[in-house]
Amino acid sequence: MITRKRLAAGVCGLLAAMAVALLPTPASAGEPDAKTAPKVELTLDVSGSMRARDIDGQSRMSAAKQAFNEVLDAVPDGVQLGIRTLGADYRGEDRKTGCKDTRQLYPVGPLDRTEAKTAVATLTPTGWTPIGPALQGAAHDLKGGDGSRRIVLITDGEDTCAPLDPCQVARDIAAQGIHLTVDTLGLLPDAKTRKQLSCIAEATGGTYTSVQHTKQLRDRVHQLVERTADPVVTPVATQGAQSCADAPKLKPGLYSDREKFAEHRWYRVDVRPGQELRASVSVAADRAVNNDYGVLLRASTEHGRELVRGAEAGDGRTDVISSGLRYPEPPADAPDGADEPPLKTVCLQVSNSFSAPPSVKTEPGMPVELAVDVVDGPSDASDAAFLGLGHGWWLLITLALTGLVAGLVWGWISRWRVSVWRTN
């Protein structure tokens, strides 16, 4: 005898099978390309203020050493790690000398845990806080390769070597296009330190963390080192031009650039007839900006005729603003004697309407990330209109058919139950 529970289970299984059958099968992912080993450099403040005994009953320096030793024990295999110090050697009062006091304590490379721990054990709180020079040195230590790179800066105070602004140093590092992230950790920070460390992190797409306890410091540093080992898509550095004719030609992929305030930058993408271009752009406001801003992504022909555009605007505080577009190139026949129709060049224009207060530096430009993809497009214009909902039509059809079948099955179940009830 068919029970209601068995019947319901059968119906659910039927509907699930239909939904799976109607969904498109994802393409198999290709094998990942071999990448350079990820690199991270722990950059530790060893200035005199690290003597203060206010973290879990011990000095800030002792808390940092304890956290480092535990982090070094757990560094993932394959991660190349180095250690740099600032303020570790010079005890004098000469500012010029003190602001050069940064050195690499342990070189970036395969980790020897015993050697690294021994080097950390020798540190004694000593001198100044040259954060800017330390960031410059750490960026140099991490040069080379295309793997992920990260600086983890740990300090208990703001930089003491102005006018070299550490936030500007971080922007300059980001502008080099080497895809290096700086994460900052403040030990019991005051308001000025929090502001400076937050600015450094935001300029490179990193994070800022305020630390009050040894365990918190250990856990956060360990988390950041592990994050370095995670595979990431690294944007390819490019440089847009002032006109389409001079623009770089981009293949499908992820790209990074820098764009000045209210600037227009051009790029080119080849699209074959019958294919669809999909592009999106994000502009990061890595410094204070005025209210009312926008970003425009525009596709046009080489002769300047607009094909399609995407735009986004806003006001108030923002960290990033994005826009995107899709353009299907109509199918065309191959010319006589050719196997395929010729490629068409589409010009992509990225523009922004950001402005900044007079006190804000506008150099280098703001970070730009541009994603480009070219896929097989709709077969004709009617299909293009039909597919204009983000190619989500198959999901709509799946839901409609599933609902229809569910209604029919439920109607049959109801009729069957009524007939059984009448029989009994």
pLDDT tens readout for residues 260-279: 999 999 999 999 998 999 99
Q: Where are the beta strands (DSSP E) in 32-164?
A: 39-45, 80-86, 102-109, 149-155
Q: Specify which residues 267 forms β-bridges with.
A: 348
pLDDT tens readout for residues 128-183: 999 999 999 999 999 988 788 999 999 999 898 888 899 999 999 988 877 799 99
pLDDT band at 297 (very low <50, low <70, confident <90, very high): very high
- pLDDT higher than 90, residue 39: yes
Where do the CATH 3.40.50.410 domains begin and end in the chain?
39-229
pLDDT tens readout for residues 375-394: 887 554 444 444 444 445 55
User: What's the pLDDT at 10?
Assistant: 47
- Packed helices 191-203 and 166-175: angle between N→C axes, nearest 10 degrees: 10
Domain formed by 236-386, architecture: Sandwich (2.60)
pLDDT cut 90: percent of the chain above it? 48
What is the average pLDDT across 212-239? 84
Where do the CATH 2.60.120.380 domains begin and end in the chain?
236-386
pLDDT band at 408 (very low <50, low <70, confident <90, very high): confident
User: What's the pLDDT at 4?
Assistant: 44
User: What's the pLDDT at 150?
Assistant: 94
The pLDDT mean for the chain works out to 83
pLDDT cut 70: percent of the chain above it? 83
Looking at per-residue pLDDT, the higher value among 172 and 406 belongs to 172
| Pairing of the two strands 253-259 and 236-237 | parallel
What's the CATH code, domain 39-229? Answer: 3.40.50.410
Which residues lie closer than 8 Å to 78 by C-beta, 6 or more apart? 37, 38, 229
Report the chain's terminal Cα–Cα distance, integer Å. Answer: 14
What is the average pLDDT across 203-225? 89
Q: What whole-number distance in Å separates Cα of residue 369 and Cα of residue 373?
A: 14
